[in-house]
Amino acid sequence: MSLVGKTLNQRFYILKSLGQGRVERTYLAEDRSFQSHPQCIVKHFTPIVDSIAVLFDRETDILAKLSLYSNNLIPKLIDKFDRLDGLYIVEEFIAGKPLATELTAGKQLTPLAAIELLMEILTPLNYCHREQLIHRHLQPDNIIRRDRTQQLVPIDFDIANLHALNTPDKFYRGTPGYAPEEQQYGEPVAASDIYAVGKIAIQALTGIHPTELRRNPQTMEWEWRQYCHVTDDLAAVLNRMVELLAPRRYQNASEALAAVQTLIIDKNLLVSPPSPHSEPIQLTLAAPAIGQTFGFETAKLVSGIFELESPTIVRSLGTAECITEDLGNGVKLKMVYVPAGTFMMGSEQQDSEQPIHRVSLKSFYIGKYTITQEQYQSIVGKNPSTFKGNNHPVECVSWHDAMEFCEQLSQHRGQTYTLPSESQWEYACRGGTNTPFYFGDTITPDLVNHKNDYTYREVFKGMNRERTTAVGSFPPNAFGLYDMHGNVWEWCLDSWHENYQGAPTDGSGWMKMNDGYHLLRGGSWGSNPDYCRSAYRVKRSQMIRYRSIGFRVCFTGD
């Protein structure tokens, strides 16, 4: 029965049917929870057995995660729900044209353009394979060039291999010409996606649809090179991608990307030998990246020779990976990847910072900066701050205010955001160091916005700014995180505990039931130097709001 004209989940109004598969029907809909009624894709899967429902939940959860940190290269998963008539998923509608419109019959791409195409398809696919998610349905009609960014976005994921698992026969799953033999028999692997990508690239080079090509009966290789001019290096990569047996192919997108990258080291590998009159080829491709790699200049304090000599600031370059979340109306939120690791938490300077203990954390993402007033306004709709400025940290926020922001941001983005646990915060702040500050043993107003009425280990006092500064005004630590010392105090998730006796050692939050006190970290513009140390912690009521208190957000990276 068609759903056209109905509203699902009191939110999604079905406009029209886009097609019928073996176990699912796809619809174009409007999301009427937003005033602009943005279009979206609704997929209705007919009732399925419990074992497949488990796979369905797993893979839609992965898609939800991928849609948040894949730099808009994966359609965003907006919602999933079930009714008596089956399971539903709702995805972002990708406005654009299918890759099939670029690969018309007889049209041949240059080797350079084909290399670029490979990079464009393999990059989003790499996000999927890192999370053990197989697309299973790659072909030119299911890859859209997004109008807004001109990036290629794979769509129509074959969730939980429902096509193969829900039918009595297991033949011809996927699109003829692009699906390898193991997929046709209902046993796809990540290398099955690589096969499809290779066939797409060969089609781009030859202008011939894959169903029109034949294998050599002696070598079992596809016969395609006679229809175009490519070097042996490029041909070898493509032939391995479309090997008959899956174990002989690149096993995932990461391996395939690495092979493609070797082709762009030397420009001459991209084309067949040029004629004497041809112009030199200009290399325009950049190496692929997972997330956005950004560069920064960090700083380290080196003590002076004489007792009263100011320390020297030594600067060096670093790089880190981040993702950029779109909060709407041009407002962005940058989240930095913090790798898994182990560190010694605490210090001997205060009883509350003891005992020093080893903590091992999984990877996670945390705000590059504290939440700004512009970001807070875009999600909550108000700005409580005293020191106004779009790029200044939001302040005058309680712990409850910060948690409410996390909840609304999570609903907005479909990803669970929260405050960092205390151990996540300290690990992120230290950036691999064990000194009181991530830049060394002492502190200076040249590197931190803090109160300078006192010194820490005999460093000259400097100016008191007596207010917040714009986020990112001072050098970051080695993780690429800014203002972990000073500017505003930052709420952590944990309840307050007087010391670390019995504290978690896995990076998780340490909570008490019905406890009214939480903790702050990092110091502020009004804090003495000692309060800005990586290990320093302070107890505050969860209801307190003050012009020196803000926060940053995080979510789990794996």
Chain-wide mean pLDDT for the chain? Answer: 84
State mean pLDDT over 293-305. Answer: 75
pLDDT above 60 (res 143): yes
The residue with tokens 């512009």 is 374
Do the Cβ atoms of 310 and 444 come closer than 8 Å? yes
Confidence of residue 22 (pLDDT cuts 50, 70, 90): low
Q: Which residue pairs from 9-14 have beta carbons closer than 8 angstroms and sit at least 24 positions apart in sequence?
A: 9/79, 9/81, 9/88, 11/79, 12/40, 12/42, 12/79, 12/90, 13/37, 14/42
Using pLDDT thresholds of 50, 70 and 90, give the confidence band for residue 35.
Answer: confident
Calculate mean pLDDT across residues 329-356. Answer: 92
Asked whether the beta carbons of 338 and 365 are under 8 A apart, the reply is yes
Convert the pLDDT of each residue in 209-261 to its tens digit. 999 999 998 888 999 999 998 989 999 999 999 999 999 999 999 999 888 87
**Residue 1: pLDDT above 90?**
no
Segment 40-45 mean pLDDT: 90
pLDDT at 274 over 50: no
**Contact criterion met (CB below 8 Å) for 406 and 418:** yes
Percent pLDDT > 70 in the chain is 86
Alpha-carbon distance of 329 to 276, in angstroms, equals 52
Q: How many Cβ atoms sit within 10 Å of the Cβ of residue 352?
A: 18
Has residue 105 got a pLDDT over 90? no
Share of the chain above pLDDT 90, in %: 54
Q: Give the pLDDT band of residue 475 (cuts 50, 70, 90).
A: very high
Report the predicted TM-score, pTM, of the whole model to 2 decimal places.
Answer: 0.51
Q: Which residues contact 286 (CB under 8 A, 6 or more apart)?
A: none
What digits encode the pLDDT tens for the residues 109-120? 989 889 889 988
- Convert the pLDDT of each residue in 424-443 to its tens digit: 999 999 999 888 999 988 88
pLDDT the model gives residue 160: 55
pLDDT value of position 166: 41
DSSP helix/strand/coil, 343? strand
**pLDDT-derived band at 175, boundaries 50, 70, 90:** confident
- Is the peptide bond between 420 and the residue preceding it cis, with omega within 30 degrees of 0? no
